[in-house]
Amino acid sequence: MDNSGKEKEAMALMAEAEKKMKSSQSFFGAIFGGGSSKLEEACDMFVRAANMYKMAKNWCAAGNAFSQAANLHLQMQSKHDAATNFIDAGNAFKKADPQEAINCLNRAIEIYTDMGRFTIAAKHHITIAEIYETEMVDIDKAIAHYEQAADYYKGEESTSSANKCLLKVATYAAQLEQYPKAIEIYEQVGTHAMDSTLLKYSAKDHFFKAALCHFCVDMLNAKLAVQKYEEMFPAFSDARECKLLKKLLDAYEEQNLEAYTDSVKEFDTISRLDQWLTTMLLRIKKTIQDDESDLR
For the chain, the domain total comes to: 1
> So what's the pLDDT on residue 31?
41
Looking at the domain assignment, is residue 71 inside a domain? no
Looking at the domain assignment, is residue 240 inside a domain? yes
What is the span of the domain harbouring residue 243? Answer: 182-296
pTM confidence score: 0.85
**13 in Cβ contact with 45 (< 8 Å):** yes
Looking at the domain assignment, is residue 189 inside a domain? yes
> Looking at residue 202, which CATH number applies to its domain?
1.25.40.10
Rounded Cα–Cα distance for residues 292 and 197 (Å): 45
Looking at the domain assignment, is residue 226 inside a domain? yes
pLDDT tens string 191-249: 999 988 888 899 999 999 999 999 999 999 999 999 999 999 999 999 999 999 999 99
> So what's the pLDDT on residue 4?
65
> So what's the pLDDT on residue 290?
61
Looking at the domain assignment, is residue 250 inside a domain? yes
Amino acid at 28: F
Looking at the domain assignment, is residue 282 inside a domain? yes
Rounded Cα–Cα distance for residues 284 and 174 (Å): 13
Looking at the domain assignment, is residue 53 inside a domain? no
> So what's the pLDDT on residue 291?
56
Average pLDDT score over residue span 133-138: 91
Looking at the domain assignment, is residue 114 inside a domain? no
Amino acid at 96: A
Average pLDDT score over residue span 156-169: 96
Which alpha helices (DSSP H) does 132-256 contain, by range?
139-155, 159-175, 179-194, 200-217, 219-232, 240-253
**Cα separations (Å) of 294 from 129, 210, 219, 221, 289?**
42, 27, 17, 21, 9
